[in-house]
Amino acid sequence: MADLTTEYLGLKLNNPIVAGSSGLSASVKGVKELADNGAGAVVLKSIFEEEIMFEYDDILKEAGREGVNLDQFDYYDYQLKGEKVKKYSDLIAESKKSISIPVIASVNCVYSHEWISFAKQLEQAGADALELNMFFLPSEFDRTTEEKEKAYFEIIEKVQKEIDIPIALKISYYFSNLGPMIQKLSETGIAGLVLFNRFYSPDFDIDKFEVVSSNVFSNPSDLAISLRWIAIMAERVNCDLAASTGVHDGNALIKQILAGANAVQVVSALYQQGKGSIFTMLKTLEQWMEKKGFDSPSDFRGKMSQAKSSNPAGYERVQFMRYFGGAN
């Protein structure tokens, strides 16, 4: 039997599959099912700062009718965040009690420092690590690139001062200079980077002229972006890399490890194929390792990273000229 144990964020995982943050890990029952189905670790559903902000809006509207009293707002502010964080801390503590694999808490930090003082509570509740899900849509016209990028480093620094557990940063690929930015982020002392998050995207209903949600789930073809960037960055970063987006089967899992991923997150596949797909992917990985004579994922991790590849230019080719040049 192959040994699938893997180290990620300094944590020992039974295997490289991490159940990514989603509604499936929003309850103790869901978390337990993911563990029972063989996940190496679970990232809890993010505690959403955006969501907290919406609740503030409601409170402010309410208060607006009778006049806003700032002391009262401060009280609500503290109270509301406190309640959310208490509930989330309970989820962490209960999850830890019911499973033996690592539990990674997740915070969506859209607005910078509001919640940071609560990070300690998540650590005290027993989280093995904290994943910061950080994203500023590049359509914000009133902030410069430098300002937006600076915010990432400021938030990391502040969180690092608050907690001792490992920190992972989950980012998007919306950076003007993605490679160097990933590299710089990896040098901040964080334990890992998750490449990449997937976002709600709009679509149009052309009969009703309404904006609707496009596909919530990824497709297997979405693997290409994270695969390319894991491969390019594998030998260039100073922290672990977790691949996220488009991993729907065991072959995709193998590819991400070959590219250099320490861990591989899955979400859409779990929704679409069921949580049992974790076992199926692990089986494919084991059989492939046996066939190729690898005893452990570390035997082949990064074997196809850009730095080790026999065709490094293949990772940088972006034009389809050869195939769709119009000559035929």
Ligand X SMILES: Cc1cc2nc3c(=O)[nH]c(=O)nc-3n(C[C@H](O)[C@H](O)[C@H](O)COP(=O)(O)O)c2cc1C
Question: Is the CB of 198 or the CB of 255 nearer to ligand X?
Answer: 198
Smallest gap from Cβ 324 to ligand X, in A, equals 26
Question: Is the CB of 20 or the CB of 250 nearer to ligand X?
Answer: 20
Smallest gap from Cβ 153 to ligand X, in A, equals 20
Q: Which residues pair with 42 in a beta bridge?
A: 19, 103
Smallest gap from Cβ 165 to ligand X, in A, equals 17
Smallest gap from Cβ 140 to ligand X, in A, equals 19
Among 137, 134, 41, 121, CA closest to 84: 121
Smallest gap from Cβ 199 to ligand X, in A, equals 8
Residues that bind ligand X (CB under 6 A): 20-23, 45-46, 106, 108, 133, 170, 197-198, 216-218, 222, 244-247, 266-269
Among 176, 33, 19, CA closest to 103: 19
Rounded-to-integer distance, Cα 30 and Cα 41, Å: 13
Query: End-to-end CA distance of the chain, in Å?
Result: 50
The H or E element that residue 104 is part of is strand 103-108
Question: Is the CB of 196 or the CB of 315 nearer to ligand X?
Answer: 196
Give the three-state DSSP class for 11.
strand
Contact present, 230 and 241 (Cβ < 8 Å): yes
Question: Is the CB of 126 or the CB of 220 nearer to ligand X?
Answer: 220
Q: Which residues pair with 131 in a beta bridge?
A: 106, 168
Question: Is the CB of 88 or the CB of 294 nearer to ligand X?
Answer: 88
